[in-house]
């Protein structure tokens, strides 16, 4: 028995196949951050990350929010250190600044590795009457520099995107010059 497919049915099948192919590729897609004003790059695993501060020749800092600032806020900063400096000293300095936040509670410090090696420092605090948390990644770029990726947001919301904050930190890298 010979089956006959109508042109309309064939066109619908082709359109559905193409749509599914594009959807499959879109879900696995990431956006890469790169800017000629800075020496670093990283990947954003979700299109909801939006740049709010663009780096420039005078300020190498960049900031992103995940939907809303309370859901997740990222600041990237470059910190200088001495060749013999310890990463733990940089973390301690940063923690001293955080201690004055209302309801501040220090969390765990963990080793972390991606393109750059370093540590993660977790903490909680109260901001605008909400339970907030921070997850700071300290990534050693070379003997003189550490990049600090500061993620802050409402505690439960930041916890729900931890896989994304880890992914951004894992893909954070410094372009080598010449």
Burial of residue 7 (CB within 10 Å: 0-12, 13-18, 19+) is: exposed
Q: What tens digit of pLDDT does each residue of 20-74 get?
A: 333 333 445 579 999 999 999 999 999 999 999 999 988 889 999 999 999 999 9
Distance separating alpha carbons of residues 42 and 64, to the nearest angstrom? 12
Residue 9 has a pLDDT of 53
DSSP-derived secondary structure letter, 96? H
For 30-174, CATH gives 3.40.1000.10
Those residues whose C-beta lies under 8 Å from the C-beta of residue 131, and which sit 6 or more positions away, are 124, 154, 155, 156
Which structure tokens are listed for 177?
């010059």
Residue 138 has a pLDDT of 98
Is the pTM of the predicted complex or chain greater than 0.75? yes
Residue 17 has a pLDDT of 42
Those residues whose C-beta lies under 8 Å from the C-beta of residue 52, and which sit 6 or more positions away, are 63, 64, 65
Residues of the chain above pLDDT 70, percent: 83
**Edge-to-edge strand order for the sheet containing 31-34?**
31-34, 40-44, 173-174
Residue 7 has a pLDDT of 58
| Residue with the larger pLDDT of the pair 96 and 177 | 96
Q: What tens digit of pLDDT does each residue of 140-151 get?
A: 999 999 999 999
Q: How would residue 175 be classed by pLDDT, with cut points 50, 70 and 90?
A: confident
Distance separating alpha carbons of residues 32 and 39, to the nearest angstrom? 14
The domain ranges of the chain are: 30-174
């Amino acid at each position: 028995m010979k089956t006959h497919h109508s042109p309309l049915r064939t066109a619908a099948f082709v359109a559905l196949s193409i749509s599914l192919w594009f959807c499959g590729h879109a879900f696995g897609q990431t956006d890469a951050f790169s800017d000629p004003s800075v020496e670093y790059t990283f990947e954003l695993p979700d299109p909801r990350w939006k740049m709010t501060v663009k780096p420039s020749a005078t300020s190498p800092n960049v900031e992103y929010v995940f939907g809303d600032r309370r859901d997740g806020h990222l600041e990237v900063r470059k910190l200088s250190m001495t060749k013999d400096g310890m990463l733990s000293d940089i973390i301690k300095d940063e923690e001293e600044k955080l201690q004055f936040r209302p309801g501040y509670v220090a969390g765990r410090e963990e080793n972390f590795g991606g393109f750059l090696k370093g540590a993660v420092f977790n903490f909680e605090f109260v901001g605008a009457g909400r339970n907030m948390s921070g997850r700071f990644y300290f990534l050693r770029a070379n003997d003189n520099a550490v990049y600090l990726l500061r993620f802050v947001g409402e505690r439960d919301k930041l916890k729900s995107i931890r896989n994304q904050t880890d992914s951004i930190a894992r893909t954070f890298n410094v372009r080598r010059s010449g």
